[in-house]
Structure 1
Amino acid sequence: MVIGDWRGPLWINYYPERLCVILYNHGVNKSDESLVILVPQKTYFQRVKEDHQRELVEDYVEEIARLHAEGGEARASDLAIRFEVSPAAVSKVIAKLRRDGFVEARPYRGIFLTSQGSELAIQVSHRHQTILQTLIALGVPEEVAHSDAEGIEHHCSEATIAAMQQFLARQTD
């Protein structure tokens, strides 16, 4: 595959056995030829995989906090309705959240966040608000921004969130 570049064509070689892509910049003459970058694809795939695993935990913790704020309690049946999944699916996630120390679940008493779960819920909520406000500041319609922020929030690094916060701070100056 060749992509035009201001110095000349950029050649992309894919090596499946190495799980990487090597970009070469072929200049006007041979002395300009150089290796541009070596990108191990598995690095990006691994981060996306980790983000997806964390996404479910964050969504549930965030929703449990929201249910407590709205009605004073969170029950498995409430979560099943909110996420449009079966009660059995909720039970599996709650068992994982208990094992990881994010919630306490008591029979006939509901689901409660531990201090670790509460901290995570606050972090997720702040990250969500930062992304939402950034999208709105960029001119994204509010309804679309809410939907997009819900998906983006689990895939932004702390560096990206910090940059968004700086951007928002400059907007209010």
Structure 2
Amino acid sequence: MKPVPAPLSAEDDLRSAETQAGAFQAVREARRSELAEDYVELIAELIAHFGEARPVDIASRLGVTAPTVAKTLDRLARDGLVMRARYRSVFLTDQGRALAEECRVRHDIVVRFLIRLGLDAETAEQDAEGIEHHVSARTLALFAAFAERRGQPETR
């Protein structure tokens, strides 16, 4: 029979609740910025490869409808991340380019970390799309350090 843990004191319970609430708040904040980050990262990639980012290409690559892209681009323009004119290509502002670069760096670190763990590149790319938005700066630094280690990938 498993031993029953001792009940938490009111102080322990409060600290635990505060810690848990902080963690959930961090996740909510990451989710709010995730969409903007995905858009600016993709726009930067499209511009780098094709010289422009057209809304139709954004919709196709994100698997969403043109009206969804239009609505999101309007919000990103209000937030100062993109510049656009109706029926024209989308371009990043300085703020948008900075965010896109930050996202690209985070994404690359997470991909390298996952590959270093022994994951195949395709799965690492897919998994990094979610992880990159939710990892703290402290954890990301540890991921980067681990990814830089020499030797064979870890196996379990």
Which TM-score bucket, shorter chain as reference? 0.7 to 0.9
Mapped to 2, the partners of 1:61 and 1:44 lie a distance apart of 26
Larger Rg: 1
> Gaps spanning 5+ residues in structure 1: where?
13-23, 26-33
Q: Deviations over 1:56-79 (max 9, x none)?
A: 000000000011111111111111
Q: What does 1:137-156 align with in structure 2 at a 5 Å threshold? A: 137-156=116-135
Mapped to 2, the partners of 1:115 and 1:60 lie a distance apart of 15
Q: 1:39 aligns with which of 17, 27, 30?
A: 17
Residue 10 of structure 1 pairs with residue 5 of structure 2: yes
Partner of 2:53: 74
Higher normalized strand content (fraction of residues): 1
TM-score for the superposition, normalised by structure 1: 0.77
Q: Secondary structure at the match of 1:154?
A: helix
Q: CA deviation at 1:43?
A: 2.1
Shift in alpha-carbon separation, 1:66–1:38, aligned structure 2, 3 A: same
Q: CA deviation at 1:9?
A: 4.0
Q: 2:77 aligns with which of 85, 98, 108?
A: 98
Identical columns (%) = 41
Mapped to 2, the partners of 1:93 and 1:11 lie a distance apart of 50
- Moved runs in structure 1, 4+ residues, more than 6 A? none
Q: Residue type matched to 2:26 in 1?
A: R
Mapped to 1, the partners of 2:93 and 2:67 lie a distance apart of 22
Partner of 1:19: none
Q: Residue type matched to 1:39 in 2?
A: A
Q: CA deviation at 1:45?
A: 2.0
Tell me which of the two structures has the higher relative contact order, counting C-alpha pairs closer than 8 angstroms and 6 or more residues apart: 2
> Gaps spanning 5+ residues in structure 2: where?
152-156
Higher normalized helix content (fraction of residues): 2
* Count of residues paired in the alignment: 147
Q: CA deviation at 1:44?
A: 2.2
Q: What does 1:45-56 align with in structure 2 at a 5 Å threshold? A: 45-56=24-35
Mapped to 2, the partners of 1:170 and 1:133 lie a distance apart of 11
Mapped to 1, the partners of 2:65 and 2:88 lie a distance apart of 19
